[in-house]
A and B are shown apart, each in its own frame.
Chain A
Amino acid sequence: MSTGWLIGSAAIAVIVAPLIGGLLRGIDRKLTAHMQGRIGPPIIQPFYDVIKLLGKKPMVAGGAQLVFAYAFLALIVTAVVFFALRQDLLVVLFILFFGSLCLPIGALSVKSPYSQLGGHRELLQFLAYEPILLLAAIPIALKTGGFPIANIFEYGQPLFPNLWITFIALLIVLAIVMRKSPFDISGSEHAHQELVRGVLTEYSGPYLALIEIGHWYEMVLLLSILGLFWVVGSLWWLSIIIALGSWFIMLIVDNVTTRLTWSWMLKFAWGAGITLVALNILFINLGWM
């Protein structure tokens, strides 16, 4: 792959990712509304929302909050760029984590009970999914001979047949990162729990818009990582099906489950998620997969 082509694809990713992300959010709201017997907003409502938010008067409830809102977006975009440049997967994840960490730190920098509660719970969510996501990079590297994402494209075969166990664990991660039930611990979209929009309580106007756009990038990046599981070969289009299919499963799960406690989430994520990936690594190390 030539350098020029890679840089081009990174530029395209930066422009297209939020469009896809926003659109998916719109479809999400529409489908959820239908499942709940409502009509729901138009599909491009998220874009209307963000544009409106950007035009609002800025309000700040704590100094550092605003720095971390910018940093959240900037770092996640950086992670997307490094992903598009097919860099080392672990490095992409580390940059993504730094970005994701800005959200709770921003929330914790306001002396507000709701924001504090949300921020701390966001950290617990982070504790639940970060190890799974990092560990999931290992079987990929073991199969493709290295951590650079470029290796996956050079590998020549789809990863899914050997790594479906890891893939299941990544669905748990996706649910936590999308803050969907039963993992909407830090801030629920619906009144599923006592803390609605906890971690975002103190963000408003343009700063909330920045975070919303950041979330779009974050979701698209995670779906792309899921897509990596079937990205080569004659059936490469399956990667899109896999990514969108996973996303759709999250919607269903969100609507049929209720929120559970953070300690349950942590036990489930570390228990089920880590065990699954560890088994996958073990099977590869033993030569069974």
Chain B
Amino acid sequence: MIDSLLGLSIFFPIIAGFICLGIKNHKARGSIVLLTAVVLIISSILYLRQGSFPIEHSPGPAGDWIILVLSYVILAYFLFVAIKDFAQRGISRHNVLTIALTLAAGIPLAIFEFSQAPHTPLEVAPTLYIDHLSVIMCLIVSIIGSLIAVYAIRYMKDHEEHRVHLGELKETTQPRFFFFMLIFLGAMNGLVFANNLIWLAFFWEVTTLACYALIRHDETPIAITNAFRALWMCLIGSVGFSLAIIFLWNSPLNTISLAAVIESGAPVLLLPIALLCLAGLTKAAQVPFQSWLLGAMVAPTPVSALLHSSTMVNAGVYLVLRLAPAFQGTHLSTLIAIYGGAVFLITAILAISQSEGKKVLAYSTIGNLGLIILCAGINTSLAIAVGIMLLIFHAISKGLLFLCAGAIEHHIWSRDIEDMEGIATKLPVLTGITIAAMFSMLVAPFGILITKWGAMEAATGIGVWSTLVLVLLMLGSGATTVFWAKWIGRFLCRSPVPGRVKREPLIPLYHGILLILVGCAVVFSILIAPVYNGVIAPSLTEAGYNAASAFTTSAWFLKSSIGIFAAWPIFIIIALALLIPSLATRAKSEESRAAYMCGENVEIGTDEFVAVADERTELKTGGFYIENMLGEGNLNRFVVPIGIVLLVILFVLVVI
């Protein structure tokens, strides 16, 4: 049974991807994507019925050989594209770094694998390792990732029609797009189940490849540049992987099994563990590597949704969470917590100054991942539980928000928040869903706020250094509120309109998918206690933490040793407080008044006022961005060095 499930999760999407590559017909390709989504979702849920975890699985030496060969094929492809770019566009930082880092990742590993290792390929038992944490990841990838792929069927059609209309595109490139989308999902599932580090590194490279290809999809000069940036930054992680594999094999432990490394917990292994964490941080786009994820915005929106919610960046934080038991109680752990807190604060402040919607979302992603890293660094049972919860809730809400941003973009053909002023009147359903999604990132009683509450409680009273972590956490939390509230304000900002607002036509693949995800965000927040008992507590136990000292639940309340969150009563009360007025109160049209303009309004329903010399002047409003203080140009001078310095300190301390 487990063989076939693994086959369905990992190989089915890859095969479906190859089939998509050959299909020119839009409907047929859409059906394949839909079928893959159904298969992935069902198989991921079936893992939960597999009885006792962990399950170990080794496909045999043939599999090891295939992985070995393919991982060098991918590295060779990276070299090929970089050299091709060098030939076409001349020398640039991006292609030089790509070549250098590919060689740095590949050559030491090749020397090790083919000459130093006792036998080629190196095998460890088990090759694949299935426990609750990897099943949680698989559920996130398979459910949210699949929904995004289904949404993309419609999105890419609109996207290409628009580009054809603009004269940028002649022939459809969708087969390639869905090829990489589906391969991405399969590789992510492989990544979360891999235990042999060589397998893990291979799937890691496949996700890098898919990410590179998808960012590059539109083939504009900026898309190509940003794709290369993503490539070389993620290759730093691959270098970390190669070195970690060599170190681990030559250490007293003499293994490349992830589970064995985590169980050993020996402090001598801190350097390879730090290298693996570095790989995680590059993939999770933590400062100073944030620019690749921001650059990835140029890709079609489903790609952003996939990168930010269910795949790519999640792989990074997953690895750090997975490794957490191995560095528990060390200085590395403390530094990782402070580092995560710093990233959370920095990105929240940077997000305030952004006027491009997707960039705000990107900074918010990096910040939330920083919060997960912070939890991994605090490294108590409570903190790890909170980290896993945030992983789940963030994936739902952020996937949802990106899909909302994409749907809005396809109505107004802009990503600028200022262009979204007052769209609540034009797209009431879509705006409503988007605002609900933003509230799910922002306020009690939604899951993400529950995890903020948990993180604050977890960081309380665990050492003198926790003071700093708490300050970073609180300040970041305040700044987060501002950029979301500001954006919600722009959506709603409008003059009174006579008559009822008409609903926009509903598009099943847009609104349907969005409503499913909103439903997930609400239901999982209410059911947080059963979700905790069902999957999170067992994964804590498997990782060697004491689940009972994280949360206890009674009557579906969540209790930590120092606090209590009455999840569903709060949900009901707040829902009543918001829903009753929004459903029961409708402003009657005779109650509408124009906004106060010192008595110089022209008339209701127009946005005009009488200015100098009785001239009718249009009223314009705009949002605060505080660019001169908090803009990227101003802050990035400090942000990138801070990130680099923190990482250097981290490694210096580890080596000492």
Contacts and interface: CB of A to CB of B under 8 A. Distances in A.
Interface residues of A, number: 67
A278 interface: yes
Interface string A81-109: 01000011011001101100100110111
B453 A60 contact: no
Contacts of B481: 97, 101, 123, 126-127, 130
B62 interface: no
B565 A88 contact: yes
Interface stretch (B393-401, B461-469, B548-556): B461-469
A142 interface: yes
B46 interface: no
B38 interface: no
A90 B461 contact: no
Nearest to A122: B485
A270 B456 CA distance: 18
A116 B581 contact: no
A63 B494 contact: yes
A224 B62 CA distance: 70
B460 A142 contact: yes
B585 A112 contact: no
Interface stretch (A34-42, A248-256, A281-289): A281-289
Given A87-B564, A127-B478, A286 B444 contact: no
A57 B591 CA distance: 8
A61 interface: yes
B457 A111 contact: no
Contact of A111 (B565, B570, B574, B607): B607
B54 interface: no
Interface string B619-644: 10111100001000000000000000
Contact of A138 (B444, B470, B493): B470
Contacts of A116: 489, 493, 621-622
A113 B621 contact: yes
Interface string B439-464: 00011100001000100110011011
Interface string B465-493: 01110110011011101100110111011
A26 interface: no
A116 B597 CA distance: 12
Among A57, A58, A110, A148, the most chain B Cβ lie within 10 Å of the Cβ of: A110
B566 interface: yes
A123 B624 contact: yes
A265 interface: no
Interface string A123-146: 110110011101101100110011
A278 B495 contact: no
Contacts of A124: 482, 624
A67 B596 contact: no
B482 A286 contact: no
Contact of A63 (B466, B496, B595, B622): B496
Nearest to A74: B577
B595 A134 contact: no
Interface string B576-591: 1110111001010001
Given A135-B471, A147-B563, A285-B467, A71 B493 contact: no
B478 A78 contact: no
Contacts of A123: 481-482, 485-486, 624
Given A60-B591, A71-B577, A95-B574, A109 B493 contact: yes
Given A95-B444, A135-B474, A111 B422 contact: yes
Contacts of B422: 111
Given A64-B424, A74-B581, A127 B482 contact: yes
B561 interface: yes
B494 A111 contact: yes
B327 to A, nearest CB: 22
Nearest to B607: A111
A132 to B, nearest CB: 8
Interface string A46-70: 0000000000011111111011011
A134 B456 CA distance: 9
A112 B604 CA distance: 13
A274 interface: yes
A109 B475 contact: no
A141 B461 CA distance: 9
Nearest to B425: A63
A57 B581 CA distance: 18
Given A66-B585, A87-B566, A108-B489, A60 B496 contact: yes
Contacts of A75: 574, 577
A105 B488 contact: yes
Nearest to B471: A278
A134 B477 CA distance: 9
Interface of A: 57-64, 66-67, 69-71, 74-75, 78, 82, 87-88, 90-91, 94-95, 97-98, 101, 104-105, 107-116, 119-120, 123-124, 126-127, 130-132, 134-135, 137-138, 141-142, 145-148, 201-202, 263, 270, 274, 278, 281-282, 285-286
21 contacts: A66-B587, A69-B581, A78-B577, A88-B564, A90-B456, A95-B570, A105-B488, A112-B595, A114-B596, A116-B622, A120-B489, A120-B623, A123-B482, A123-B624, A126-B478, A126-B481, A138-B456, A138-B470, A201-B596, A281-B467, A285-B463
Given A75-B577, A113-B621, A134-B477, 13 more contacts: A60-B591, A62-B495, A63-B424, A63-B492, A70-B581, A90-B457, A110-B495, A111-B595, A116-B489, A127-B478, A131-B474, A142-B461, A278-B470
